[in-house]
Amino acid sequence: MLFFTIFQKWPITPYLILRVRRECIIDDNLRQVSNNEIDLKKRLKIEFIGENGIDIDGLRKKCIILDKSIMINILEMFTWSEKVNYYWFNPTSFESLVQYYLVGVILGLAIYNSTILDVYFPLACYKKLLDILYELDDLKNFRPGLIEGFQYLLAFDDNVEDIFCRDFVGEYEAL
């Protein structure tokens, strides 16, 4: 990139500049991030199209913050559990893996740029990202009812299928 910058006389900038429309923040972010993979480790700078202003941390945070309403209503890729205060992947989402990847990139940009977000994932999610084996105990903090049921079944001495009419078919309820 530096080679082309020098010979094409493109300006070298230490920033990843995202130009977004206020009404399409998520779509604009995802589109530009997917086209600028080479600049992802630069300091982030936000420009709202049609607005004058200096990018102080507030604009950056406002642009990349993924709060509950955006996560659930716009992306519909995650579910929020009021019971345990964590996000989890929506099993009924029709979004592609690319969309999940881009959301991960935006969250990574926020962390890289020291922007604190109100987004919480359970420990099992971070272990999965780090390729660390997770155990049943890791599920306790976001699916306590499921773990209680597993522990009860493991301790049960009789025939589980006959008594509980369960044959280990997975069921889920979209939140």
Burial tier of 81 (Cβ tally within 10 Å: 0-12, 13-18, 19+): middle
Contact criterion met (CB below 8 Å) for 60 and 113 = yes
pLDDT for 62 beyond 60: no
pLDDT band at residue 67 using 50, 70 and 90 as cut-offs:
very low
Q: Which CATH architecture does the domain made up of 11-121 adopt?
A: Alpha-Beta Complex (3.90)
Give residue for tokens 């597993």.
150
pLDDT band at residue 68 using 50, 70 and 90 as cut-offs:
very low
For the record, the structure tokens of 165 come out as 């009419």
Rg, the chain, Cα only: 21
Strand partners, 18: 46
Show me where the domains of the chain are located: 11-121, 124-175
DSSP three-state, residue 46: strand
pTM over 0.75: no
Of 72 and 41, which is predicted with more confidence? 41
